[in-house]
Amino acid sequence: MQAPQTAAFQPPRRILMGPGPSDVPQRILDAMARPTIGHLDPAFTTMMEETKALLRYAFQTENKLTFPVSGPGSVGMETCFVNLVEPGDTVVVCINGVFGGRMLENVKRCGGVPVVVEDAWGRAVDPGKVEAAFQAHPEAKLLAFVHAETSTGAQSDGAALAAIARRHGALTIMDCVTSLGGTPVLIDQWGIDAAYSGSQKCLSCTPGLSPVTFGEAAIAKVKARKTPVQSWFMDLNLVLGYWSGEGKRTYHHTAPINPLYGLHEALRILAEEGIENAWARHRAQHQALKAGIEVLGLDFVVPEDERLPQLNAVGLPEGVDDAAARGRLLNEFSLEIGAGLGALAGRIWRIGLMGASARADNVDLCLKALKAVIR
């Protein structure tokens, strides 16, 4: 068999203003190009410990069990569900977009009994409905919700939802893939028991890593399981020996060494900026984009007080062809924005202002480019 003839891949330069990945700063790419070392090398484990400390800062938590799962955000999602949902557990699942639907799928596959709380796509989760669901199902052991619904750009009230679960003796799983680093995620203050995120959204790293954090009550539930976690790879009891950092580190799987250099650098950038400053920057760039969007006459999908600064969903203008317009943005402006998902496919655009992408010149370019393709 003949080897295929190829050239080294040279990706085009793009400006990434979609739902992730976001622009990756050169500093992070440089970090990832450094020499690969063994994942049990003491130098590597020192970096792992720093990464965990930096992640605790990003999540605003003292949780010891805070680490990046080797896999994209979806693997962080599964890690939470396969460990915390035992067959027969009743789980209140909030659905107000695509990712809440994936949570439901996870609950079902873990043998959990879902109680679905539905809200319209484009709206926050209604705490009143969650309260009613717990009153109707006092046996519920878990609440699962998406803090920042990337499919619509709606932000839910993490503090209020976690408080309801706590009052009813249930644990909380929160998806903060799109919120971490872009808008406040206060794990300890809100009392979130388990949360997962992703490297490629507001942390502006390359895709493929999923920061997770688990509190004491969540760990106790995993340890008290009557049935083994059905996934060997994601079983926290096994992963703990690798990430715990208490002296002897045992082989579990080979960590993605170089991507972890990248995450370490991305988190250092966040720490240097200061997380409050990062939140403020996302808000400020959102305000600038919003002003321009309104001048263009486009409407936001989400009501103002439920809007995420880092994911701006706007209705497609009358008579504009979705794929053709986004094609022009890519070809003429090297700009990527997101299409609608699920029920909103072909009806909205999703403009991301995530991490390093949330900067004034990107907002200017995006508005100029949108104006050109809408005309």
Q: Would you tell me which residues interact with ligand PLP (CB under 6 A)?
A: 20, 72-74, 77, 99, 146, 150, 175, 177-178, 198, 207
Q: What angle do CA 169, 89, 148 make, to 5 degrees?
A: 70
Please identify, using beta-carbon distances, which residue of 81 and 99 lies nearer to ligand PLP.
Answer: 99
- Look-up: residue for tokens 């002897």? 248
Q: Shortest distance, CB of residue 209 to ligand PLP, whole angstroms?
A: 9
Contact at 8 Å (CB) between 147 and 159? no
Q: Quick one: 114 or 338, whose CB is closer to ligand PLP?
A: 338
Contact 97, 131 (CB under 8 A): no
Q: Of 112 and 198, which CB lies nearer to ligand PLP in the complex structure?
A: 198
Q: Are strands 171-175 and 113-118 parallel, antiparallel or unpaired?
A: unpaired
- Interhelix angle 216-223/73-84, nearest 10 degrees: 60
Q: Are 67 and 52 in contact (CB under 8 A)?
A: yes
The least distance separating ligand PLP from the CB of residue 264, rounded to whole angstroms, comes to 18
For residues 180 and 316, which CB has a smaller minimum distance to ligand PLP in the complex? Answer: 180
Complex with ligand PLP: residue 73 or 112, whichever CB lies closer: 73
Distance between CA atoms of residues 165 and 150, nearest Å:
23
Minimum distance, C-beta of residue 350 to ligand PLP, in the bound complex (Å): 10
Residue 227, classified by CB atoms within 10 Å of its CB into exposed (0-12), middle (13-18) or buried (19+), is exposed
Q: How far apart are CA 329 and CA 374, in angstroms?
A: 10
Which of 156, 105, 97 lies closest to 130, judged by CA? 156
Compare residues 73 and 158 and give the one whose CB is closer to ligand PLP: 73
Shortest distance in whole angstroms from residue 91 CB to ligand PLP: 17
Q: What angle do CA 54, 23, 314 make, to 5 degrees?
A: 110
Tell me the DSSP string of 275-313: HHHHHHHHHHHHHHHHHHHHHTT--BSS-GGGB-TTEEE
Nearest residue to ligand PLP by CB is 73
CB of 46 to ligand PLP, least distance (A): 27
β-strand pairing of 15-17 with 65-70: unpaired
Q: CA-to-CA distance for 90 and 68, rounded, in angstroms?
A: 28
Nearer to ligand PLP, 74 or 244 (CB): 74
Smallest gap from Cβ 194 to ligand PLP, in A, equals 14
- Of 130 and 369, nearer to ligand PLP (C-beta) is 130
Q: Count the Cβ atoms, other than its own, within 10 Å of residue 341.
A: 18
Q: Please, what is the minimum distance in Å from the beta carbon of residue 196 to ligand PLP?
A: 8
Q: How far is the CB of 232 from ligand PLP (least distance, A)?
A: 20
Closest approach of Cβ 152 to ligand PLP, in Å?
10
Residue 112 or 208 having the CB closest to ligand PLP: 208
